[in-house]
Amino acid sequence: MDAYFDIFSGISGNMILGALIDAGLSIEELKKELSKLKLDDEYEIISKKVLKNGISGTYVNVQLKEHHHEHHNHEHHHHHHHHHRSLSDIYEIIDKSDLSNEIKIKSKEIFLRLAKAEAKMHGVGIEEVHFHEVGAVDAIVDIVGSVIGMELLGIERIKASPIHVGRGFVKSAHGKIPVPAPATMELLEGVPVYSIGIDAELTTPTGAAIITTLSEDFGPRPYMLITKTAYGAGTRDLEIPNLLRINLGQFIESNLNSDFVNVIETNIDDMNPEFYDTIMEKIFKAGALDVFLTPVHMKKNRPGSVLTVLCSDEKTEKIVNILLKETTTLGVRILKKVQRYSLKRNVEMVDTEWGKVRVKIAKSGDKIINIAPEYEDCKKISLENNIPIKEVYNRVLSTFYQNA
């Protein structure tokens, strides 16, 4: 079975456990496996159904018996007074258990990633890390329990969405620290993340360690035959549903590329159309993926144009500033994280009688779908040799097929 983690409201250890139980994981089977760690006298697991913005999910609370302290989840304050354990202590607990070797290996790998991140943030060696996030019983249950749950459900492959991290500040033993927490930020290096203005710590170090260790890819929802959807709930109520969504089923391998882009649009009906050429050139130079105009009829039946730009998230602000400065518009609208699909393509050089010409080749699997000589190369040859551009284009294609 495959699983796609839709992390639109962040991720934490007990949200993962909640989603797995919501997906059909027997809590009794989970407890039975966790009892092999021989920590039963230190905690108990409580599971219940809750509603978040009208959506039903499963909330899991790892309650410590000694301190009667509820699990932090999205109330992650980084200063719990739990019994501290070192990484070697945790390894010993896992190694001495009767858990399967695969569960032991994956659990230790997650703890190692987490310990490395915390050690780097505190400027100490891994074995000097003695703190609640690695050592607390709730973190042990979250991490080992998540690995157990995935094995019991038969989840073999995991992919995940970009991760919503939240924003703001949270309290720690060292004072206020930014969101995401430094250790979380370290764990998420190389992973697409975002924030849409929720003032809360949505992704915890434990959650980040689990998903970055187990997920093979982070990106748009893949082609997938979904057989079940489950939700794991966080503690607090937010503007958005405080839920982790997991889709279970089978990944379908795609021959398409997929990514997220932002779409910037503005309506213009009072600008000299001669200006568009320069403006569009500046937008492309700023890093736009595409720029185009769509004719429209606006208020009072005036003819106008919708100027549309596709760009990455990091280029958005720069391009918006160009639009506001260079055009007559008073504002723009932005569609964030629009999913885009495209054929896989590459560029090859074709030797012609006029020199090398770039040719773009689009494929679906091993099958060539489209071939297009680079326009600028053909244009240059046409002008320099006084040959119709359509003739250059056709002869480049003919040469390509002859050499294929």
Decide: residue 293, CB within 10 A, 0-12 exposed, 13-18 middle, 19+ buried.
middle
Q: Confidence class of residue 30 from pLDDT cuts 50, 70 and 90?
A: very high
Residue of 71, 69, 52 lying closest to 61 (CA atoms) = 71
Q: Which has the higher per-residue pLDDT, 194 or 177?
A: 194
Where residue 190 falls (left for φ over 0; alpha for ψ -120 to 50; beta otherwise) is left
CB atoms within 10 A of CB 338: 13
Most confident of 2-6, 41-45, 296-300, 352-356: 2-6
Cβ atoms of 167 and 185 within 8 Å: the answer is no
Number of neighbours of residue 271 by Cβ within 10 angstroms: 16
DSSP 8-state secondary structure symbol assigned to residue 369: E
Angle ∠(64,67,69) on CA atoms, nearest 5: 60
Give the pLDDT confidence of 99-155 residue by residue, as tens digits.
999 999 999 999 999 999 988 877 787 777 765 544 478 889 999 999 999 999 999
Q: If you average pLDDT over every residue of the chain, what do you get?
A: 90
Over 50: is that where the pLDDT of 72 sits? no
φ, ψ for residue 164, nearest 5 deg: -80, 120
The H-or-E segment that residue 150 falls in is: helix 137-153
Instruction: Locate 50 and state its tokens.
Output: 């809750």
The strands making up 55-64's β-sheet, listed across from edge to edge, are 43-52, 55-64, 224-233, 243-251, 2-6, 157-160
What is the arrangement of strands in the sheet containing 303-311, beginning at the earlier edge strand?
290-297, 303-311, 256-268, 333-352, 355-364, 367-373
Confidence class of residue 73 from pLDDT cuts 50, 70 and 90? Answer: very low
Q: Is the pTM of this model over 0.75?
A: no
pLDDT at 83: 56
Would you tell me the crossing angle of helices 316-326 and 275-285 to the nearest 10 degrees?
A: 160
Q: How far is CA 106 from the centre of its chain?
A: 21
Q: Which of 289, 243, 239 is nearest to 263 (CA)?
A: 289
The structural domains of the chain, ordered by start, are 2-64+82-251 (no CATH), 257-343 (3.30.70.1380), 345-403 (3.10.20.300)
Which DSSP letter does residue 328 get?
Answer: S
Token representation of residue 337: 């994280």
Q: Of all helices (H) and strands (E), which one includes residue 10?
A: none
Cα dihedral 179, 183, 187, 189 sign: positive
